[in-house]
Amino acid sequence: MDKPRLGFIVGTRPEAIKVAPVVLEFRKFDSVETLLISSGQHREMLDQSLAVFGLKPDIDLGIMTAGQTLTEVTSRALEGLTKTFKERGIARVFAQGDTTTTFCAALAAFYLQIPFDHIEAGLRTDSISTPFPEEFNRRAAGLVASLHYPPTKWAAENLLKEGKDPKTIHVTGNTGIDAVNLIVKTSSQDWFPEHPGRVILLTTHRRENLGEPMSRIATAAREVLEKTPDALLVVPMHRNPQVREVLMKILGDHERVRLIEPPDYEAFVPLMKRAALILTDSGGVQEEAPALGRPVLVLRDTTERPEGVEAGAAKLVGTDQKKITGEALNLLNDKEAYHRMQQVVSPYGDGMASQRVRYWSLKNLGIDSPGVTPWG
């Protein structure tokens, strides 16, 4: 009897990081065949991130083109994934999160009546347009999913409120924490050994923050730096030219600012660990930083990851310059406030999410495999 062929779909750097531990987990078992399929929605950063885990795509659709629109990405990804699923006889499709690639993987699987398993399911905000287009993508993927893998009880509750069958929902923790733990064990990257003081890490790239909001973010970061003489501000710059233009204009001439190229994941995890404080609009960093004991100020007005805020490991500060500056300086100058955030146990996972995904997916296929303790 042929082994079931499972398709794991990635298209962007965050997906690569969060899907990699799952692929590695499934490849420990010879009862299934795995294919790692890349849409190529992002190019260099995707391949770079997979390589950290010793992985490369088995199939690369290469859909990325310069100046691509969401419509073009969607049409090319849907066509390419549909063709691949049919030609390769994919028996089950796995995708993570909320990208256009994930949406297209779910839709292609639905059209072909292939079971679709949604990793990191159930994240929600109050508006289908925030974040854009991610909120739509994850809701749409959830409509057709056969199995839902929410990272937390909160995410599971969102799925139940939408009428999803409880038997299809399995809380796993976040596979991103699995990835962080793998890197912490293996990376030897040493950031800024010549700088004895603190490091503030800033990452910003979201569509809704482009333009004036990003200018306020960068200006606030510069103000915090001016009032913290021992600090070094490190800013990995997203490859979007609109992001780079703002960051270079406002921060590029400061002697204690380091505008750097996006490091690969093997180096980025130690950079987060080196930081005393992290300012970010990234969803993944919101999850990863608490696992490393690093306080996070979230540069967004809403978040689909409220568990960190509720636990006290993160604060929503939006893009208001005054608020960002005030909250950052408070944490950098108030040891008790800093310590309270630093000591919060990560609400996002225990490093065994991939094992739980593997257990429930194989069980659904009628294949026995070792169990794991529940999460959440």
pLDDT per residue, tens digit, the chain (376 aa), is 589 999 999 999 889 999 999 999 999 999 999 999 999 887 767 888 899 999 999 999 988 887 789 999 999 999 999 999 999 999 999 999 999 999 999 999 999 999 999 999 999 999 998 888 999 999 999 999 999 999 999 999 999 999 999 999 999 999 999 999 999 988 888 999 999 999 999 999 988 899 999 999 999 999 999 999 999 999 999 988 999 999 999 999 999 999 999 998 899 999 999 999 999 999 889 999 999 999 999 999 988 889 999 999 999 999 999 999 999 999 999 999 999 999 998 899 999 999 999 999 999 999 999 999 999 7
The one catalytic residue among 117, 120, 178, 307: 120
Handedness of CA 356, 357, 360, 363 (dihedral sign): negative
What is the Cα Rg of the chain in Å? 20
The one catalytic residue among 27, 88, 198, 207: 207
Tokens of 344: 């919060």
Task: Name the residue ranges covered by the structural domains of the chain.
Answer: 5-174+349-364, 192-342
Instruction: Indicate if 207 belongs to the active site.
Output: yes
Instruction: Indicate if 205 belongs to the active site.
Output: yes
The one catalytic residue among 25, 117, 134, 327: 134
The one catalytic residue among 92, 138, 170, 205: 205
What is the topology classification, in CATH, of domain 192-342?
A: Rossmann fold (3.40.50)
The one catalytic residue among 15, 33, 47, 98: 98
Model confidence, pTM:
0.86
Is there a shared CATH topology between the 5-174+349-364 domain and the 192-342 domain? yes
**Separation in Å, CA 260 to CA 221, 237, 238:** 16, 6, 9
Decide: 255 and 266 in contact? Cβ < 8 Å. no
Secondary structure letter of residue 162 according to DSSP? T
CATH architecture of 5-174+349-364: 3-Layer(aba) Sandwich (3.40)
The one catalytic residue among 5, 88, 195, 238: 238
H/E element, 200: strand 199-203
Instruction: Indicate if 120 belongs to the active site.
Output: yes
